[in-house]
Structure 1
């Protein structure tokens, strides 16, 4: 199966939107046996960038058919909504449904938790710089509920990191208490770099237009994920552990409930 038209990512511009409409492009069963829907646009965030996927439902307009979305993935710009029809006897409606309108409903509690965890990871980057660890380059983040962390390229003596652990935590919670609106904007490369403190990671092509997340008054950062509407929604953060090994430093954290 070849699909060349990318799925429009509505959450890029409207991170708080939890319900929307789309057109069904394709329904199929993959080689792994999983069934999936492809739409012309989506508010479902696919797993990636250290953030788990959204879950929820997709319903065919003017029908009783509900497709339970259990996992969402993206490949070559096309978003695949994996799941099952609540009533398997109605699957033929999906098979013959190309061009039909569908209604998307994202699970709100899961989206909010994922957005809080992801936003907290970016705020941790800010605070690492603020306490004197600006030479540590942010690497991958793992913003899943079972053990979120941010990994940094570079090391610092472990005793120095541990001595700073409480300072990092105090700094983060001070920014959370202060709050600040969170915005996502797609910008030309030069403008994006200025908003991010003067430079962007090497993986972002100089001719591209990256999406930049701005958390309050703090420097921006390139990111394709979903985030809170205000920094205060993170509630609180605890730096639970810091590890350094083989040229990498990992900072583990949890957020308040």
Structure 2
């Protein structure tokens, strides 16, 4: 199969809580594997790519150390592996499992950062997520932020057990949406001409391709660890789980 005709069906958006799946290999190049479909989220939007492992029918275990989209053909998702056995080839059927605890931490923090963006009235210029912390950068010239206030407001929203849902809208509506959303730099996720939106019901709605929890209470308690001045117009807010 030509690389130009390959495409990986993304399962993670519709099944963010599913941890295991089976799939056939459609390409193997060096230490990277493409599957016909995958639950592994590829690095993007500040969220790291998933890790985990593949299991072959003969019992061989292959550790997946990262997941990325092809830089030229983003419909292709590459699973970076620790060591690719010689007998792993196109057409092989394998079982795959996520490092679920790591992924779930990413889901919780990603949703928490959407809450953070909703309580700070400034455009978002950067984002980063890890298993134990996350941060947003804001276009905010004046130092008006307070760690204790941010911590209190976030935990109050989390405790409300607010539902989180996804929806789609025509990509043509994105310019108008920019007037009411906080992100200045994130390229909106367009799927077959539609924008994928993530909504914390009644609190926030943003274009987002990441994985999220279904309810804010799943996040658990967090605290604002630090507020940094990165430049004259940039403030970085760092959150951690308690």
The interval holding the TM-score normalised by the smaller chain is 0.7 to 0.9
Task: Verify the 8 A CA contact 1:195 1:220 in the aligned structure 2.
Answer: no
Distance 1:251 1:98, change over 3 A: same
Query: What TM-score results when the alignment is normalised by the length of structure 1?
Result: 0.80
Structure 2 match to 1:119? 111
| Distance change >3 Å, CA 182–CA 146, structure 1 → 2 | closer
Is structure 2 residue 69 aligned with structure 1 residue 74?
Answer: yes
What are the equivalent positions in structure 2 for 1:223-242 lying under 5 Å apart? 223-242=208-227
User: Given the superposition, is the C-alpha separation of residues 220 and 84 from structure 1 closer, same or farther in structure 2, using an over 3 Å criterion?
Assistant: same
1:247 counterpart = 2:242: no
Distance in structure 2 (CA, Å) of the matches to 1:214 and 1:230: 11
Q: Distance in 1 between matches of 2:134 and 2:22?
A: 32
Q: Which runs of 5+ in 2 are unaligned?
A: none
Contact 1:45–1:54 (Cα < 8 Å) also in 2: yes
CA deviations on 1:176-231 (whole Å, 9 max, x unpaired) are 00012222233323677888884585644999412111223322111111111211
The DSSP-based 3-state class of the residue aligned with 1:44 is coil
Counterpart of 2:87? 93
Q: Which residue of 2 aligns with 1:174?
A: 156
Residue equivalent to 1:161: 145
Normalization by structure 2: what TM-score?
0.85
| Higher Rg | 1
* Residue deviations 1:148-186 (CA, integer Å, cap 9, x gap): 210012322x2x323xx3222211111100012222233
Q: Residues 241 and 176 of structure 1: is their aligned pair in 2 closer, same or farther, counting only changes over 3 Å?
A: same
In the TM superposition, what is the alpha-carbon distance from 1:108 to its structure 2 partner?
1.2
Measured at CA, do residues 167 and 190 of structure 1 come closer, stay the same or move farther in structure 2, by a change above 3 Å? farther
| In 1: Cα distance, 2:220 partner to 2:35 partner | 35
Rounded Cα–Cα distance in structure 2 between residues aligned with 1:177 and 1:197: 29
Q: What SS does the aligned partner of 2:113 have? A: helix
Could you give the per-residue CA deviations for residues 91-134 of structure 1, whole angstroms, max 9, x where no partner exists? 2320xx31232222111111111111211111111121xxxxx2
Distance verdict in 2 for CA 1:176–1:191, change over 3 Å: farther
CA RMSD of aligned residues (A): 2.7
3-state SS of paired residue (1:98): coil
Unpaired runs of at least 5, structure 1? 30-34, 129-133
Q: 1:204 to 1:73 in 2, by over 3 A?
A: closer
Q: Between Structure 1 and Structure 2, how many residues are aligned?
A: 234
